[in-house]
Amino acid sequence: MVTRSRSIIPSVLVLGLMASAGMVACSSDYSRGPVTSTETVDAGAADSGAVGPGSLNCTATEAELYGDPGDLSALANGAVIKCKDDGVVTAAQMKTALEAIENATVPDLPDQPFTNKYAGRAPKSDTHVYRVLYKTTRGGSGDAGYSVATMYLPVTPVAEKLPLVLLARGSRGQAPTCAPSRHKDVPLVEIDNKDGNYVHDDYTALAYPLAGEGFAVVATDNAGYSPFKYAEASNRPSGYAYLDDVARSFLDSARPLKEALGDKSADKLVLVGLSQGGHTVLGSLEVANNYPTPGPIVGVAAYSPLWYTQRSWGITLSPLSVSIAGVLLNKSAGVPGALWYHYTQAELKDGPGEGVKLFKPSLQAAVKKWLETTCWSKTYAELAAALPVGAQGSASDFFSDEMNAALSNADLVFGRSCAGSGNMPLCEKWLARYKADHPVHTGAAKDTPILLGYGLKDTTIPNARFACVVEKLKQGRSAEQFAKVEYCVNPEAGHGGSVLLESDYVNDWIKSKAFGTAAPAANATACPQTTWDPALSCDSLLAND
């Protein structure tokens, strides 16, 4: 095991949307003490009682898992191409890893310092870990794609028949080395981080309480992270917060898990995600209306979801984002977020090579290299070094004149329209994309039980932003349907702290939806509040589209 430490660990690409214009100048409320990793598992541990892996042949090597997937044309979505056995993580190892995670915020709330540590039950079950390479499809084109997912199969299952728990991780960057399945214990790097280590603890905090409870869990990287022919036409980068892309990978990951469980599968899906992952699970509800899944979705648990206007990414190009909220590179996650969002959307919707064309010619090579090599970091010195002398590091410093003319107008901020755009067609094109990534729920999505986990000390997605989540879910729902939206609110929790403090409540809520057991009651440690204060309203300047 390797001990790691980190100072600031933003687990989601915060738009940098706070203050009066909804833009957060500080990107995180994570601050960590020493963290002990247990990601290197004991492949020789006894697991005679473990569930799965069914008919899967899990003899692949690491190189095979991330190599050529072969011809995908005859494969169904979710079909397993390769499987690797990674051995067993014990309940004791998971307990050690969870208790080592520490979330604290002092810089964001100097008058209200707090520390969040894991407060859930000790894991009960060892878990056998497998990684699978499986077939999916890509957003926009519907072309064949492939992704690696990590499966956690319990040695001591929580029930005889298990739901398929799909886990959506938070933001990590878009480069191949950022994928959670490729995590390795290496020294922590905060500046220009080239792996996912800097934000891996939020993934651990999500996965281990579920796996340790005895659930069967699958967590996908998403298509577009494989190093094989990365960024080529057959393997374009994953679309950041692009629902039609990430939801397909996410929903298709249920099929390898179902195959591994065999007759132990209850054929019910439960979706769980944090931050960007919360955006993924809430968006996947809508995508699932028209995208087949191997069973009904019986519940969705979203911790601090990024489920509010995706128009926020375009607003970072406005001078107001700097003057009101200080959205600048290395001071706000809004800048890297805007680069990731627009670049990857263009690659998938407009074609290979189109993403880099959104930026100033003199900066295109630097932006491309950054996207393809650098993960979520505390700061991005290499990207900053590419800026011309005198540039302050705003999003508009990076984007082309055409993009700035199209998206920097105040109407996009205040009017939620392209009325004042200097390039109306380009503005309308991107505005439609922002809206598509934040849809109103329809059909079965409106009737699915939803649990929103949140901490009132979250500075990553502050109260006014979370209020937008609540109000968005109200759109299109009857009063009876909206009553199926439940809350687990902890006044002392920060962004990552919502997972560390609320996991017991979420686990029990999942059991109530999957097994019909009693719903959990308010709990002083996990969920002191199970209602949302309607007085906390959505930011009026960035209200839902």
Q: What is the pLDDT of residue 433?
A: 97
Q: Which residues contact 113 (CB under 8 A, 6 or more apart)?
A: 104, 105, 106
Flag whether 204 is in a domain: yes
Q: Which helix (H) or strand (E) holds 65?
A: helix 62-65
Flag whether 386 is in a domain: no
Q: Which residues contact 235 (CB under 8 A, 6 or more apart)?
A: 145, 146, 223, 224, 226, 228, 229
Range of the domain at 484: 3-309+439-542
Flag whether 239 is in a domain: yes
Angle at 98 between CA 97 and CA 100, to 5 degrees: 65
Domain tally, the chain:
1
Flag whether 233 is in a domain: yes
Cα torsion through 202, 495, 169, 366, rounded to 10: -90
Q: What is the pLDDT of residue 542?
A: 77
Flag whether 155 is in a domain: yes
Block means of pLDDT (10 residues each) for the chain, 545 residues, are: 27 32 36 38 48 91 97 97 97 96 65 85 97 96 96 97 97 97 92 94 96 98 97 97 98 98 97 97 98 97 96 94 92 95 97 97 98 97 97 98 96 91 97 97 97 94 94 96 97 93 97 96 93 90 80
Type of residue at 540: S
Flag whether 272 is in a domain: yes
What proportions of the chain, in percent to the nearest 5, are helix, strand and coil?
Answer: 35, 20, 50
Give the residue among 175, 500, 211 at the shortest CA–CA distance from 344: 175
Q: Which helix (H) or strand (E) holds 94?
A: helix 91-100
Q: What is the pLDDT of residue 109?
A: 57
Q: Which helix (H) or strand (E) holds 249?
A: helix 243-252
Q: What is the pLDDT of residue 457?
A: 92
Q: What is the pLDDT of residue 52?
A: 78
Q: What are the CA-CA distances from residue 476 to residues 439, 473, 485, 544 (Å)?
A: 10, 8, 13, 13
Q: Which residues contact 367 (CB under 8 A, 6 or more apart)?
A: 339, 343, 356, 359, 383, 386, 398
Q: What are the strands, taking DSSP E only, across 174-309?
A: 216-220, 265-274, 297-303
Q: What are the strands, taking DSSP E only, across 51-120?
A: 80-89, 102-105, 114-117
Handedness of CA 399, 402, 404, 407 (dihedral sign): negative
53 preceded by a cis bond (ω within 30 of 0) = yes
Q: What is the pLDDT of residue 185?
A: 86
Flag whether 333 is in a domain: no
Could you tell me the CATH number of the domain that includes residue 477?
Answer: 3.40.50.1820
SS3 label, residue 341: helix
CA 44 centroid distance within chain: 32
Handedness of CA 516, 520, 526, 528 (dihedral sign): positive
Flag whether 222 is in a domain: yes
Q: Which helix (H) or strand (E) holds 254?
A: helix 254-261
In whole angstroms, give the CA distance from residue 305 to residue 278: 4
Q: What's the whole-model pTM score? A: 0.92
SS (H, E, C) 39-57: CCCECCCCCCCCCCCCCCC
Q: What is the DSSP letter of 263?
A: G
In whole angstroms, give the CA distance from residue 44 to residue 171: 32
CB of 35 closer than 8 Å to CB of 58: no
Structure token pair of residue 445: 């999505």
Structure token pair of residue 523: 């709990």
CB of 370 closer than 8 Å to CB of 385: no
Q: What is the pLDDT of residue 110?
A: 60
Residue whose token pair is 């956690």: 152
